[in-house]
């Protein structure tokens, strides 16, 4: 049995006493890719924000690599090795592509000496061409690539992605997922949150279904793809 | 007639470079943490008094006092941040305004208590004399002050674009959550921006004292001036700040000579309103 990298226990969270998540428990093992799927408004973004420390849990506990991280501020959590690529990318629009990547390594600058930028440029050649451009001049697909690359720049142990397919044309979604496949094959541990269920289930190992702030289903992705509830409500089959 | 006009224009434009430096401090504070700092102009006044005091008691020339007042104002900025601003970040906007207006009133009362209400000026400056260009006479201290301001602005530009701390300030001002997620501790970054923004008034205060006097009501004027320059420049463009500073300085000087010297702040205020009315995002600001 592989080591559990992330463990979430009976988590409850929300905004200004508006509860969103309720009794959410799940885990991600080292080297695994786990998808959390669910409809708009289910609480997927809230879940990632609570893990990365942008939101404080109202109850429950979060462990990363055996250490409790719930209640810590986001800059501390990111330094422990969790990279959160937020919904919509959330780049630094008035900084160049290169500066965005450098900022990605802000909490762990020593990794810049390990050739991480060259690796990222190899993975996303488009970003190398555009490295001197301001992030706000990039196209939608390039922005998402930069957001993922910025998340990777600190060599995280866990990469959390919030809807990398959001607002992108189908060919671009395929390109992004092709890159995620490469990261996955290199052994990176990934927690992916998606509405694009077809893409998520075809790439991840295991999945959880989040509805109205609760986990209603879980299992291996192959199993979930055969589940009648999922086929009917998420895959439209 | 046109000679006097141009003479005033030149003087005003040179002083405007110092205004740009003051406004750069304000824009660091406002751009990064969205705090409307009403006390910024009074930090300039405080710096001028400190310059006067150090000049009087220690005989340090106003050109060099920023070496002492820059760290002092940085510390005062940090103190103001941690004691006041940090506690109001999550409060309503009115609370923040009340706190910085309170700080402004406090600084004004303090300087009145210590230095009374009389204007103070330093009896001498290392930079003496005039430079004659055709029919125009330029005070050497004004010219040196303008050049020093531009250098200081360049220094801030390099700090913001080439250092980790500077990039963290820009990242936090672009997207605070995203900055936190890459490991930027936001309170420390805010404190640094507030300290640096305040410390820039120390350079401006020293330079201003090489050719003018200080009195406790000056804070209001510099506050208004810096908001006017910032509104004209918009956020995010350092060259824009410099150009706006020069325009405001020149408009102020020309307006005073054509209209009435007592209308000084009124001219700046009208310009401020005009900018907000015609270009609410400024002439050079990002969207
Ligand atoms: N900043 C916020 N303040 C208050 N409620 C919010 C906020 N953001 C999201 N919500 C609410 O929380 C619920 C879950 O939202 P979210 O986590 O964004 O869902 P998802 O990412 O699954 O679409 C929704 O009902 C949404 O309206
Ligand atoms: Mg979402």
- Give the closest residue to A94 by CA, choosing from B167, B25, B138, B187: B167
Residue B206 parent element (H or E)? helix B186-209
Q: Which residues of A touch B167 (CB under 8 A)?
A: 95, 99, 102-103, 106
In the Cβ-directed half-sphere of B73, how many Cα atoms lie within 13 Å?
35
Asked if the model's pLDDT at residue A97 lies above 80, the reply is yes
- Hey, are the CB atoms on B175 and A92 less than 8 Å from each other? yes
Residue B196 parent element (H or E)? helix B186-209
In the CATH hierarchy, which top-level class contains the domain A4-233? alpha beta
Pocket test for ligand 1, best of A11, A18, A54 (most atoms within 8 A of CB): A18
Interface test with A, best of B160, B176, B182, B287 (most A CBs within 10 A): B182
pLDDT bin (cut points 50, 70, 90) of residue B278 is confident
What does pLDDT average to over chain B?
Answer: 91
Which DSSP string corresponds to chain A? Answer: -PPEEEEEEEEEEEETTEEEEEEEEEEEETT-EEEEE--TTSSHHHHHHHHHTSS--SEEEEEETTEE-TT--HHHHHHHTEEEE-TT----TTSBHHHHHHHHTGGGGGGGGGTHHHHHHHH-HHHHHTTTSBGGGS-HHHHHHHHHHHHHTT--SEEEEE-TTTT--HHHHHHHHHHHHHHHHTT-EEEEEES-HHHHHHH-SEEEEEETTEEEEEEEHHHHHH-HHHHHHTS--
Residue B256 parent element (H or E)? helix B238-258
pLDDT in tens, A195-212: 889 999 999 999 999 999
Compute the average pLDDT of residues B9-26.
96
Asked if A34 and A209 touch (Cβ cutoff 8 Å), the reply is: no
Q: For CA atoms B85, B88, B93, B95, give the dihedral sign.
A: negative
Q: For CA atoms B191, B268, B101, A16, give the dihedral sign.
A: negative
In the Cβ-directed half-sphere of B163, how many Cα atoms lie within 13 Å?
10
* CB burial of residue B30 (10 Å; 0-12, 13-18, 19+): buried
pLDDT score of A187 = 94
Asked if B63 and B202 touch (Cβ cutoff 8 Å), the reply is: no
Determine contact: A72 vs chain B, CB below 8 A.
Answer: no
Q: Which residues of A touch B236 (CB under 8 A)?
A: 94
Asked if the model's pLDDT at residue B59 lies above 90, the reply is no
- Choice among A33-37, A103-107, A206-210, B62-66 with the minimum mean pLDDT: B62-66
- Give the closest residue to A70 by CA, choosing from A130, A2, A37, A24: A24
pLDDT score of A5 = 97
Compute the average pLDDT of residues A142-155.
97
- Residue A41 in contact with ligand 1 by CB distance below 6 A: yes
Asked if B206 and B62 touch (Cβ cutoff 8 Å), the reply is: yes
Residue in chain A nearest B236 by alpha carbon = A94
Ligand nearest to the CA of A40: 1
pLDDT score of B281 = 83
- Residue A20 in contact with ligand 1 by CB distance below 6 A: yes
Ligand nearest to the CA of A44: 1
pLDDT bin (cut points 50, 70, 90) of residue B257 is confident
d(CA A5, CA A8): 10
Return the residue whose CA atom lies nearest to atom 1 of ligand 1: A15
Ligand nearest to the CA of A46: 1
- Residue A17 in contact with ligand 1 by CB distance below 6 A: no
Compute the average pLDDT of residues B110-133.
84
pLDDT in tens, B79-97: 999 999 999 887 888 888 8
pLDDT score of B276 = 86
What does pLDDT average to over chain A?
Answer: 95
Asked if A15 and A57 touch (Cβ cutoff 8 Å), the reply is: no
Instruction: Enumerate domains of chain B plus CATH numbers.
Output: 2-278 (1.10.3470)
pLDDT score of B27 = 95
pLDDT score of B268 = 83
pLDDT bin (cut points 50, 70, 90) of residue B3 is confident
Asked if the model's pLDDT at residue A237 lies above 80, the reply is no
Q: Could you give the ipTM of this predicted complex? A: 0.95
Compute the average pLDDT of residues A175-180.
95
d(CA B186, CA A182): 33
Compute the average pLDDT of residues A101-126.
96
Asked if the model's pLDDT at residue B168 lies above 60, the reply is yes
Asked if the model's pLDDT at residue A10 lies above 90, the reply is yes
Asked if the model's pLDDT at residue A1 lies above 70, the reply is no
pTM of the model: 0.93
d(CA A38, CA A204): 15
Ligand 1 centroid–CA A19 distance in Å is 10
d(CA B216, CA B102): 15
């Amino acid at each position: 049995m592989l080591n559990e990298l992330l463990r979430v226990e009976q988590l409850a969270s929300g905004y200004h006493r508006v509860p969103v998540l309720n009794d959410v428990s799940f885990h991600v093992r080292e080297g695994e890719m786990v998808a959390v799927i669910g409809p708009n408004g289910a609480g997927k973004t809230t879940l990632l924000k609570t893990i990365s420390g942008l939101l404080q849990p109202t109850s429950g506990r979060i462990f990363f690599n055996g250490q409790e991280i719930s209640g810590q501020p986001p800059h501390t959590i990111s330094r422990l090795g969790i990279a959160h690529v937020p919904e919509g990318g959330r780049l630094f629009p008035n900084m160049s592509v290169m500066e965005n990547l450098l900022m990605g390594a802000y909490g762990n600058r020593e990794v810049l000496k390990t050739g991480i930028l060259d690796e990222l440029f190899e993975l996303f050649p488009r970003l190398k061409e555009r490295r001197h451009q301001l992030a706000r001049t990039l196209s939608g697909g390039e922005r998402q690539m930069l957001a993922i690359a910025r998340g990777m720049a600190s060599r995280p142990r866990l990469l959390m992605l919030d809807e990398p397919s959001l607002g992108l044309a189908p060919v671009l979604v395929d390109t992004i997922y092709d890159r995620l496949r490469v990261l996955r094959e290199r052994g990176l541990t990934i927690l992916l949150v998606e509405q694009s269920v077809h893409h998520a289930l075809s790439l991840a190992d295991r999945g959880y279904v989040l509805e109205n702030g609760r986990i209603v289903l879980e299992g291996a992705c192959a199993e979930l793809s055969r589940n009648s509830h999922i086929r009917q409500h998420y895959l439209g089959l | 007639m046109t000679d006097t006009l141009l003479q005033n224009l030149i003087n005003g434009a040179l002083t405007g470079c110092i205004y740009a430096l003051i406004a750069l401090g304000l824009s660091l504070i406002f751009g990064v943490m969205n705090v409307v700092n009403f006390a910024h102009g009074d930090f300039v006044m405080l710096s001028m008094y400190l310059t006067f005091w150090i000049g009087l008691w220690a005989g340090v020339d106003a050109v060099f006092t920023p070496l002492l007042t820059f760290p002092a104002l940085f510390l005062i900025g940090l103190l103001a941040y941690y004691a006041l601003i940090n506690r109001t970040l999550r409060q309503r906007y009115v609370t923040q305004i009340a706190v910085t207006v309170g700080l402004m009133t406090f600084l004004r009362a303090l300087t009145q208590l210590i230095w009374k209400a009389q204007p103070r000026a330093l009896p001498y400056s290392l930079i003496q004399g005039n430079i004659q260009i055709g029919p125009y006479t330029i005070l050497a201290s004004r010219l040196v002050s303008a050049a020093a301001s531009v250098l200081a602005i360049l220094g801030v530009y390099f700090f913001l674009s080439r250092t980790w701390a500077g990039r963290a300030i820009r990242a936090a001002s672009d997207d605070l959550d995203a900055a936190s997620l890459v490991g930027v501790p936001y309170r420390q970054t805010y404190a640094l921006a507030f300290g640096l923004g305040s410390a820039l008034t120390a350079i401006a205060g020293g330079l201003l004292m090489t050719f003018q006097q200080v009195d406790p009501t000056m804070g209001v004027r510099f506050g208004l001036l810096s908001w006017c320059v910032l509104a004209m420049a918009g956020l995010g463009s350092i060259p824009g700040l410099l150009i706006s500073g020069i325009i405001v300085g020149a408009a102020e000087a020309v307006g005073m000579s054509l209209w009435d010297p007592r209308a000084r702040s009124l001219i700046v205020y009208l310009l401020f309103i005009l900018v907000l009315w015609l270009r609410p995002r400024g002439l050079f600001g990002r969207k």
